[in-house]
């Protein structure tokens, strides 16, 4: 590590009803990967938004390359070499990949945009990232994981001196994460300062040099990564030790009835002849690499995407699910991996989002019973430990993890018997993960049944009673948890037919 390139000292920021940052300190050196950690709502993303001019600070100083700075907007920060890769994707789905990457700085040929050069430059970026993405493809046609890689490519395309990665690996596969780490190590060798925000403890130990921990908007301390343990960091974040031991045996009784049966489901190239059963009180894990077809299977089952063929039975009765309304009417709830697109309405309140799937239950004549709506929403804010000043807070003002909790609350209010959790803890810290794991175990103990799609192997092994493995749109394994290991699951996940 070299000399200090960035110092944030005594940064304070308040919003209506929220003291988001309470005199926070951060120091980043050249050639350093500096982890910024804390629970959801601790203020990590807010601190970075202050740095890059998205928010103005109330107090404190920012010293960059030896001089005091304060940026009015992200474009000013970019011009000075400070780039942020946001946790929430910020792409325009109708534009091509290359157009998204170079928007506002397109190569020109006379008075016209040089599309050929722009596509070629995008192609070079992807070659550097070791991923295969067509620069001419529409952004909206890509998976969440590939969209995230495009966001990273866009950041790297700038002449950056400091890059902030805000949960860059949340939607990436293990192989994509390895490629990301190669790029980060290359940037570190070029003496770039890197701030790395992540909730994945194993990543922090592998890729970072120092760790700064925040809690409830305040600065807790800074550790040298190689000299601290995972438990040291967690204790600073949440004040308690959290264990993530794998499940060793199924909690489902052998005579548990089948609540959902899927036979020969087909929907596009990533859902080919899928068949499985879900038992009452079971957590059925779906594992596989990015693009295996897990989310596509869930969307076809939920009626969000049209199925070509296949039969669905609920409690032994064949049902027709042609749209999400049919699925909800049959007791199925779906927690999407892309909460911003499918899970929440960000300019509505916590209460309004929580009752969105059950609005008719809160109607009093032509009016919504706001008192009842708030009471029910508050119940789930309390049980899920959602950090919000009140249920009247707009969801856009919550952290990513707390937005996820609002989506979960929506389906708990609906009281669905079958719940599909697609990446339920994506972008959520270890403390909140533990709470959601506890909630899922509580739900199945009460007789609910859960299909859990997860890209985190530790999560699959910790939570699943049984595991369905997919590869390139096909089922390649069904593994009892008693027999499951990382090696066995990965073998099935790479078993191409």
**Percent with pLDDT over 90 in the chain:** 59
* Sign for the pseudo-dihedral over CA of 60, 63, 69, 72: negative
- Which pLDDT value is given to residue 439? 85
Give the residue with greater pLDDT, 137 vs 40: 137
Strands 258-266, 274-279: pairing is: antiparallel
Q: pLDDT digit string (tens) for 238-276?
A: 766 565 678 889 999 999 999 999 999 999 989 999 999
Q: Give the DSSP H or E segment for 187.
A: helix 174-189
DSSP H or E run through 221: strand 218-224
* Pairing of the two strands 317-319 and 309-314: antiparallel
pLDDT at site 220: 94
User: CA of 462: how far to CAs of 101, 249, 336, 388, in Å?
Assistant: 38, 10, 21, 29
User: Which DSSP state fits 136?
Assistant: T
Instruction: Please give the backbone phi and psi of residue 171, each rounded to the nearest 5 degrees, phi first.
Output: -110, 15
Residue from 81, 39, 30, 74 nearest 56 by CA:
74
Side-chain half-sphere CA neighbours of 484 within 13 A: 31
Q: Is the pLDDT of residue 414 over 90?
A: no
- The yes or no reply on domain 258-493 and CATH 3.50.50.60 is no
**153-171 core/surface letters (b: 16 or more CB in 10 A; e: else):** bbbbbeebbbbbbbbbbbb
Domain ranges of the chain: 4-238, 258-493
Taking the CA of residue 53 as centre, how many other CA atoms within 13 Å lie in the half-sphere pointing to its CB?
15
Contact between residue 294 and residue 286 where contact means Cβ atoms under 8 Å apart? yes
pLDDT digits (tens, 9 = 90+) for 296-353: 999 999 999 999 999 999 999 999 999 999 999 999 999 887 666 667 888 899 999 9
- pLDDT at res. 169: 80
* Cβ atoms of 438 and 431 closer than 8 Å: no
Cβ–Cβ under 8 Å, residues 293 and 475? no
Report which DSSP code applies to 104.
T
Task: Work out whether the CA dihedral 202, 203, 209, 214 comes out positive or negative.
Answer: negative
Backbone angles phi, psi at 68, to 5 degrees: -75, 135
Rounded to the nearest 5°, which phi and psi values hold at 175? Answer: -70, -35
pLDDT tens digits, 419-442? 999 988 877 777 778 888 888 999
186's enclosing H/E stretch is: helix 174-189
Helices 144-156 & 115-129 angle (0-180, nearest 10): 100
Let me know if the fold of 4-238 is the same as that of 258-493: yes
Q: What integer is the mean pLDDT of 69-98?
A: 89
- Cα(25)–Cα(60) distance, integer angstroms: 9
E-strand stretches of 16-151: 18-29, 32-37, 59-64, 67-68, 82-85, 108-109, 112-113
Cβ-contact 213, 38 below 8 angstroms: yes
Q: Can you say whether the dihedral through the CA atoms of 76, 79, 83, 89 is positive or negative?
A: positive
Pull the structure tokens for residue 123: 């192609």
The per-residue pLDDT for 67 is 96
Q: Could you tell me the pLDDT band of residue 177, with boundaries at 50, 70 and 90?
A: confident
Q: Rounded CA gap, 238 and 215, in Å?
A: 7
Please tell me the predicted confidence (pLDDT) of residue 342: 66
CA 387 to chain centre: 17
Q: What is the pLDDT of residues 103-162, one digit of tens each?
A: 989 999 999 999 999 999 999 988 877 778 999 999 999 877 788 788 888 888 888 899
Least Cα distance to 146 among 207, 186, 89, 102 occurs for 89
* Separation of alpha carbons 147 and 405, rounded Å: 23
Where do we find the tokens 């050069």?
117
Contact (CB, 8 A) for 161 and 5: yes
Kindly report the CATH number that applies to the domain delimited by 4-238. Answer: 3.40.50.300
Higher-pLDDT residue of 15 and 226 is 226
More confident residue, 285 or 494: 285
């Amino acid at each position: 590590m070299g000399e200090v390139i960035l110092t944030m000292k005594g940064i304070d920021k308040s919003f209506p009803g929220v003291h988001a940052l309470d005199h926070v300190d951060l120091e980043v050196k050249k050639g350093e990967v500096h982890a910024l950690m804390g629970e959801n709502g601790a203020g990590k993303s807010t601190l970075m938004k202050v740095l890059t001019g998205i928010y103005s600070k109330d107090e404190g100083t920012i010293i960059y390359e030896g001089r005091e700075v304060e940026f009015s907007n992200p474009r000013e920060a970019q011009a000075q070499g400070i780039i942020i890769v946001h946790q929430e994707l910020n792409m325009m789905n109708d534009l091509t990949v290359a157009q998204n990457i170079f928007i506002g700085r397109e190569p020109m040929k006379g008075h016209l945009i040089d599309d050929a050069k722009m596509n070629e430059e995008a192609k070079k970026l992807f070659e550097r990232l070791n991923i295969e993405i067509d620069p001419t493809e529409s952004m909206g046609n890509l998976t969440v994981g590939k969209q995230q890689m495009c966001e990273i490519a866009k950041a790297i395309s700038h002449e950056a001196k400091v890059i902030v990665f805000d949960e860059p690996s949340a939607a990436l596969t293990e192989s994509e994460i390895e490629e990301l780490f190669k790029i980060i190590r290359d940037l570190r060798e070029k003496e770039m300062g890197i701030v790395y925000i992540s909730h994945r403890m194993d990543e922090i130990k592998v890729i970072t040099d120092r760790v700064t921990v925040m809690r409830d908007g305040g600065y807790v301390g800074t550790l040298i990564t190689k000299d601290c343990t995972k438990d040291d960091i967690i204790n600073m974040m949440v004040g308690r030790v959290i264990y993530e031991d794998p499940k060793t045996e199924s909690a489902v009784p052998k005579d548990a009835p089948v609540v959902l049966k899927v036979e020969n489901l087909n929907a596009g190239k990533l859902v080919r002849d899928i068949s499985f059963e879900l038992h009452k009180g079971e957590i059925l894990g779906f594992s596989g690499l990015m693009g295996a077809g897990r989310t596509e299977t869930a969307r076809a089952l939920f009626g969000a995407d049209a199925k070509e063929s296949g039969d669905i039975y609920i409690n032994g009765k064949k049902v027709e699910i042609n749209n999400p309304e049919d699925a909800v009417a049959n007791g199925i709830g779906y927690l999407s991996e892309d909460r911003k697109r499918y899970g929440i309405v960000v300019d509505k309140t916590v209460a309004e989002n929580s009752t969105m799937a059950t609005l008719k239950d809160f109607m009093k004549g032509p009016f919504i019973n706001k008192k009842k709506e708030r009471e029910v929403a508050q119940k789930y804010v309390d049980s899920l430990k959602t950090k919000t000043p009140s249920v009247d807070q707009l969801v856009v003002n919550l952290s990513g993890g707390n937005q996820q909790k609002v989506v979960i609350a929506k389906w708990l209010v609906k009281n669905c018997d079958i719940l599909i959790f697609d990446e339920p803890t994506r972008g959520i810290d270890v403390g909140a993960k533990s709470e959601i794991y506890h909630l899922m175990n509580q739900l199945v103990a009460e007789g609910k049944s859960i299909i859990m799609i997860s890209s985190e192997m530790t999560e699959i092994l910790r939570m699943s009673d049984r595991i369905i493995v997919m590869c390139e749109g096909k089922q390649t394994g069904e593994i009892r948890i008693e027999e499951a290991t990382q090696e066995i699951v990965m073998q099935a996940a790479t078993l191409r037919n």
